[in-house]
Amino acid sequence: MKKIEAVIFDWAGTTVDFGSLSPVSAFKEAFRMNGIEVTDEETRAPMGMLKIDHIRTMLAMPDVAARWRDAHGREPTEADAQAIYEVFEPALMKVLDRHCDLKPGLLECMRELKRRGVALGSTTGFTSDMMAVVCAEAAKAGYSPDTFVTADQVGGYGRPYPYMIFENMRRLKIGSVDAVMKVGDTVSDIEEALAAGVTAVSVVEGSSVMGLSRAEWDALSEDERNAHRERTAEVFWRAGAHYVIGRLSALPALVDAVNAARSR
């Protein structure tokens, strides 16, 4: 197998926005404005998908659909999904620039990967308009991957489809899926990586699966943190991740270890 030539990162919850907070609040507000309440757990379950697909997936959840029937007297429809999205997008855009803080260790990780000659790509569940805000804010703080791809740039086929990864590979001129590592914080990221045939890596701390803000995380005891780490890692392992790391600072060493194993 080839050595790792490119690492393709997710954005919210992986490289920026510890805990992936901005989409959660916007989704909950959009559903509330359309007549029902949804929980954090329901909201986070499809995280990483294209946002309209995320809403469709939530409406198909049995408990959410039951609440919709109770509130509206009928099954949710595609028109309902579109109506929720019409509220979601402006709600997210209002807060998006406030949730672009870089995850701890990202800049050092980026420098170390670049020093090794590794290209940096990215995929996301955000649209191009949303990413215009996120990329600008992240760049101010020093993070600019070599490329980013959104679902609307590949015909709307976001996660779990593999096409955003393939488009990154095309732009970065990477010739083999064996040479690519995909790093994310959701089950959707893992599904995307597996569909593309690349190495799937999940980051535990600050992930959407963990679901804690930076302040909540900092307030925990070490025993409490370990319990959250174990619970989150188990979700990733069960979803099929090839590797699970605690934080981004561990990624360069993982790349080294994978390359060393492949050179034997």
Residue 173 designated active-site: no
12 is in an annotated binding site: yes
Say whether 16 sits in a helix, a strand or coil.
strand
Q: How far is CA 101 from CA 61, 106, 142, in A?
A: 31, 10, 11
Nearest to 207 by CA among 7, 4, 11, 6: 11
Selecting among 17, 28, 51, 103, the annotated active-site residue is 51
Selecting among 10, 17, 80, 189, the annotated active-site residue is 10
Say whether 125 sits in a helix, a strand or coil.
coil
261 is in an annotated binding site: no
Task: Count the residues in the chain.
Answer: 264
Residue 51 designated active-site: yes
Q: What is the DSSP string of 150-188?
A: -GGGTTT--TTSSHHHHHHHHHHT---GGGEEEEESSHH
83 is in an annotated binding site: no
Q: Largest alpha-carbon pair distance within the chain?
A: 63
- Tell me the H-state helices in 16-140: 21-33, 40-44, 51-60, 62-72, 78-95, 106-115, 128-140
Q: What is the DSSP string of 210-232?
A: T---HHHHHTS-HHHHHHHHHHH
Question: What residues are designated binding site?
Answer: 10, 12, 185
Question: What residues are designated binding site for Mg(2+)?
Answer: 10, 12, 185
Residues labelled as active-site residues: 10, 51
